[in-house]
A = this chain, B = another copy of it.
Amino acid sequence: MTEQDLKTEEKILEAAMTVFIQKGKAAARMQEIADTAGINKALLHYYYRSKDKLYESVFSIVIKQLLLPKIFKILQEEEDVFALIHQFADFYVGVINKNPFIPLFVIEEINKNPNRLSNAVLNSGIPIEQVIARFQKAMDEGKIRKTDPRQILVNLISMCIFPVAARNMLLPILFNNSKTEYKKFLELRKTEVAEFIIQSIKI
């Protein structure tokens, strides 16, 4: 049944996501994925023939449906540079926070399969150069001080992603293991990061 089909496939994908993220591809066990999905190994292979194929699917979903399209579109839509930075930080921190597994997943993938993600990004039509150009333009117009615009972009991305990727390190060290405190902290970051950057680059 189509209805049931989707449900099971969804269940599998979510389970696979969880396990692949927690354990990494190599350490992830098909049995555990099946268990997490509430089905058995045979059915798991019935839907996704191999571990590789399953991983491929998960990766594809994470990248194509969660990361690429939504995130960077903002950069095209927003006119003002400062508003753009705000939108970006707000949305990016939000997405990452909702899917805290993404950064690690992506970072791990990057290092084991360097070309795949960068190709995906490069082929996605994401106008990185346009973003860079936008910063450049703002510099030329005297709105922000002059620096390598890539530094700004890297700073922005770093500050959005890292705190989530390093969550398990920050939690005990900075937040006494209080998850609510950490959540509040991340919530504040949505505006904080943008303000931090704007404060730094505005003239």
Please report A residues at the B interface, Cβ cutoff 8 Å: 22-27, 104, 106-108, 110-112, 114-115, 117-119, 121-122, 128, 145, 147-148, 150-151, 153-155, 157-159, 161-163, 165-166, 168-174, 185, 188-189, 192-193, 196-197, 199-201
Do residues B107 and A192 form an inter-chain contact, with CB atoms below 8 A?
no
The 9 closest A-B pairs by CB, nearest first: A26-B27, A200-B200, A158-B162, A26-B26, A118-B172, A114-B168, A199-B200, A158-B158, A162-B162
Chain B residues contacting A189 (CB-CB under 8 Å) are 151
- A192 to B197 Cα, complex, angstroms: 13
| Residue of B with least CB distance to A199 | B200
Q: How many copies does the complex hold?
A: 2
- A158 to B104 Cα, complex, angstroms: 14
For the complex formed, measure the closest distance between the CB of A127 and the CB atoms of chain B, giving whole angstroms.
Answer: 12
Complex partner residue of A159 from B24, B122, B159, CB under 8 angstroms: B159
